[in-house]
Amino acid sequence: MLHEFTGVKRIAYFSMEIALANDIPTYAGGLGVLAGDTLRSAADLSLPMVGVTLASRAGYFQQKIDGMGRQIELPEMWDPALHARQAAAKVAVQIERRRVWVGAWVYRIEGLTGGCIPVLLLDTDLPENSVEDREITHFLYGKDAAYRLKQEIVLGVGGVRMLQGLGFEIRKYHQNEGHSALLAMELLNRHKYSQRDLRPGESPYDAPAVRSLCIFTTHTPVEAGQDQFDYDMVDRIAGGDFLELTEVRKLAGDDRLNMTRLALNLSDYVNGVAKRHAEVSRHMFPGYEVHAITNGVHPHTWTSEYFAALYDNMMSGWRHEPEQLVRIEHVPNQLVWDAHTNAKQRLLNRVLDTTGCALDPAKPIFGFARRMTAYKRPDLIFSDLERLRAIAKKQPFQLIMAGKAHPNDEGGKHLIEQLHLHARELGEDLPVVFLQGYDMHLSLDLVSGVDVWLNTPLRPLEASGTSGMKAAFNGVPSLSVLDGWWLEGCVEGVTGWAVGNAQAGNESNDVVDLYAKLENVVLPLYYNDRAGWISVMKHTIGKNASLFNAHRMIRRYATEAYL
Ligand SMILES: *Cc1c(COP(=O)(O)O)cnc(C)c1O
């Protein structure tokens, strides 16, 4: 069954979450969508890769919002047997000094030109395991730290063993975030010096050999966001099988096992996901070389059917070579506007069907959808309701929002309640709609159907952000704080608009600037200069979609990290 994949050496791409398809809930947000887009572009370009992730049979969670704006979390079970084929191998890992069996499902990502990438979905839900162990691969980002460590043993250690068990030959191991860093421990065990050659006190592990196999992409610009485990827990859960703790301490930190440290110390190539993020990472991790490969999104996945048809007609190779979108100037304005109008109508129909709200297609819509958490500041635009109301009364606009808060993020859940409160307070003066259950399909409908994509994170915490890139594929400009990718994508007034300046530390100005841009620049352009507006739309396509795509991103990984 796997021989079609095992004849060529592959890059193994490890990620705790991978967004494979809308109806497979093995992702929580941006990290998983990026992983899926990376592998989809690799499939389109026939780059030999293999994905490794967890089956997450209970998904992340299904989101409902009650009458008070409170988030309700329901399990989202899925059946891997309906989407993937069971692999023949089983491997064992040690957890709490007992043996836990790991199986795998093979999901196929088919590229547009015949390429295909297998993704292994690791699964401990096997009859030979105890009831408790069968749940290890069920809940994406679920339960507590001990549960997380068990998942990371399955992902990192189990993943390497499964690749070997299935006969894969691996050229490099790419860790998408630190969750899979235990894979390098497993590799250390396979790269030992013979005892005879060792001087007393010398490490038995050939770390340089392991480093030359490993690539680490960091995504977290704050220390607190990184996975860290107490060593007594590490000993209780991971002890007994692989490395001695003295060796682990040298590589992963003295006080606690820090997965980011471990990955940094055992990877020859390390990168951040945008230029600014790489700079921030260099300050956080002095002494490590941190490269920058700015993220991108998968062209076909994130382009509405209306723009895809237009591109197919006018720039027919764009799916394979999105750089062709620089030729958007050849496309008549009316065709761009028509494609957008169709996507907008589709979104408005969805809003009407799901909420009963009839938004007005003649008025501009601003979209804001992402993980609901404090640093993303979804409430920034509501800072001064009187001012906001005054702006909307003169030049009416509408706002659509969506996003899930992690079940343990009380602050994020509170923000969702606040948004509902503000929507009620604003009433008819500024229609605000919150759509439940943010997923890939809703994301596509939003980034293609709104007129402006809004993003107001607290600098420098948005490592990259990718939803604004998706919007660019649909001719939708961003109005965004200068952080992450937007520092590279924003040409003021040409591809969209900046909120505030690029420096962290003067956040208080952001909301003043946001209101001023809305009132004096963005809304007047929309209402008074349609040709000028369409020109901005075209530049988002020609200057940003052509650049911030996952084809360009994976080609850079290939030439700078993999080969
Ligand atoms: C693209 C996407 C994200 C990430 O968006 P950001 O702009 O990086 O926050 C999160 N969730 C879903 C469902 C997405 O499609």
Contacts of 523 (CB under 8 A, 6+ apart): 364, 391, 395, 397
How many domains in the chain?
2
Report yes or no on 44 lying in a domain: yes
Instruction: Catalogue the E-assigned strands of 244-300.
Output: 256-258, 269-272, 291-292
* Residues 329, 203 share a domain: no
Quick one: 470 and 506 in the same domain?
yes
Q: Are residues 285 and 318 in the same domain?
A: no
CATH number at residue 481: 3.40.50.2000
Q: Which residues fall within 8 angstroms of residue 114, CB to CB, at 6 or more apart?
A: 46
Going across the sheet that includes 365-369, the strands are 432-435, 398-402, 365-369, 452-455, 478-481, 496-499
Strands 62-65 and 71-74, by their bridges, are antiparallel
Is residue 62, in this structure, part of any structural domain at all? yes
Our answer on whether the CB atom of 63 is closer than 6 Å to any ligand 1 atom is no
Does residue 2 fall inside a structural domain? no
Tell the residue nearest (CA) to atom 2 of ligand 1.
Answer: 30
Task: From residue 155, give the alpha-carbon distance in Å to each of 17, 116, 138, 267, 541.
Answer: 10, 22, 13, 17, 37
Cβ pair 38, 18 in contact under 8 A: no
Alpha helices by DSSP H, listed for 285-409, are 305-314, 333-355, 385-394
Examine the domain organization and report whether 237 and 344 are in the same domain. Answer: no
* Same domain (yes/no): 396, 268: no
Q: Which ligand 1 atom sits nearest the alpha carbon of residue 455?
A: 7
User: Same structural domain for residues 401 and 383?
Assistant: yes
Q: What residue owns the CA closest to ligand 1's atom 13?
A: 439
Is residue 358 a part of any domain in this protein?
Answer: yes
**284: Cα within 13 Å, side-chain hemisphere:** 23
Residue nearest to atom 8 of ligand 1 (CA): 465
Q: What is the pLDDT of residues 188-236, one digit of tens each?
A: 999 988 878 888 878 889 999 999 999 999 999 888 788 999 999 999 9
Domain membership flag for residue 5: no
Identity of the amino acid at 111: G
User: Looking at residue 351, what is its pLDDT?
Assistant: 98
The predicted-structure confidence for 526-545, as pLDDT tens digits, reads as follows 999 999 999 999 999 999 99
Out of 294, 441, 456, 467, mutate this one to test ligand 1's pocket (max ligand atoms within 8 Å of CB): namely 467
Q: Is the CB–ligand 1 distance for residue 370 below 6 Å? A: yes
Q: How much distance in Å is there from the Cα of 329 to the middle of ligand 1?
A: 29
User: Whole-angstrom Cα distance, residue 493 to residue 489?
Assistant: 12
Q: Token pair for residue 241?
A: 């099988």
Residue 420 CA to ligand 1 centre (angstroms): 21
Helices 245-252, 231-238: inter-axial angle, 10-degree rounding:
130
What distance in angstroms lies between residue 178's CA and the mean position of ligand 1's atoms? 19
pLDDT digits (tens, 9 = 90+) for 331-341: 999 999 999 99
- Is residue 382 situated within a structural domain? yes
Query: Does one domain contain both 102 and 178?
Result: yes
Distance (Å) from CA 299 to ligand 1 centroid: 15
Angstrom CA distances, 83 to 28, 29, 58, 362, 530, stand at: 19, 21, 15, 41, 45
What angle separates helix 550-557 from helix 30-44, to the nearest 10 degrees? 80
With a 6 A CB cut-off, is 33 part of the ligand 1 pocket? yes
Residue 242 pLDDT: 65
Residues 84 and 43 in one domain: yes
Tell me if 473 CB under 6 Å of ligand 1.
no
From the CA of 30, give the closest atom in ligand 1: 4
Q: Is 368 in the pocket of ligand 1 (CB under 6 A)?
A: no
Q: Ligand 1 centroid to 438 CA: how many Å?
A: 9
Q: Give the distance (Å) from ligand 1 centre to CA of residue 284.
A: 25
Rounded to the nearest angstrom, the distance between the alpha carbon of 246 and the centre of ligand 1 is 39
Q: Please report whether residue 301 resides in a domain.
A: no
Instruction: Give the residue numbers spanning the domain of 310.
Output: 306-547
**Dist CA 170 CA 299 (whole Å):** 27
Q: pLDDT (tens digit, 0 to 9) for every residue of the chain, 563 residues total?
A: 788 999 999 999 999 999 999 999 999 999 999 999 999 999 999 999 999 999 999 999 999 999 999 999 999 999 999 999 999 999 999 999 999 999 999 999 999 988 999 999 999 999 999 999 999 999 999 999 999 999 999 999 999 999 999 999 999 999 999 999 999 999 999 998 887 888 887 888 999 999 999 999 999 988 878 899 999 999 999 987 767 788 899 999 999 999 999 999 999 999 999 999 999 999 999 999 999 999 999 999 999 999 999 999 999 999 999 999 999 999 999 999 999 999 999 999 999 999 999 999 999 999 999 999 999 999 999 999 999 999 999 999 999 999 999 999 999 999 999 999 999 999 999 999 999 999 999 999 999 999 999 999 999 999 999 999 999 999 999 999 999 999 999 999 999 999 998 887 778 899 999 999 999 999 999 999 999 999 999 999 999 999 999 999 999 999 999 99
Please tell me whether residues 346 and 487 are part of one structural domain: yes
- Both 255 and 320 in one domain: the answer is no
- Predicted pLDDT of residue 478: 98
Residues 350 and 483 grouped into a single domain: yes
The answer as to whether 536 is a domain residue is yes
Residue whose CB lies within 8 A of the most ligand 1 atoms, among 38, 371, 439, 485, for a mutation test: 371
Whether 496 contacts 479, CB under 8 Å: yes
pLDDT for residue 247: 87
Q: Does residue 16 sit in the same domain as residue 152?
A: yes
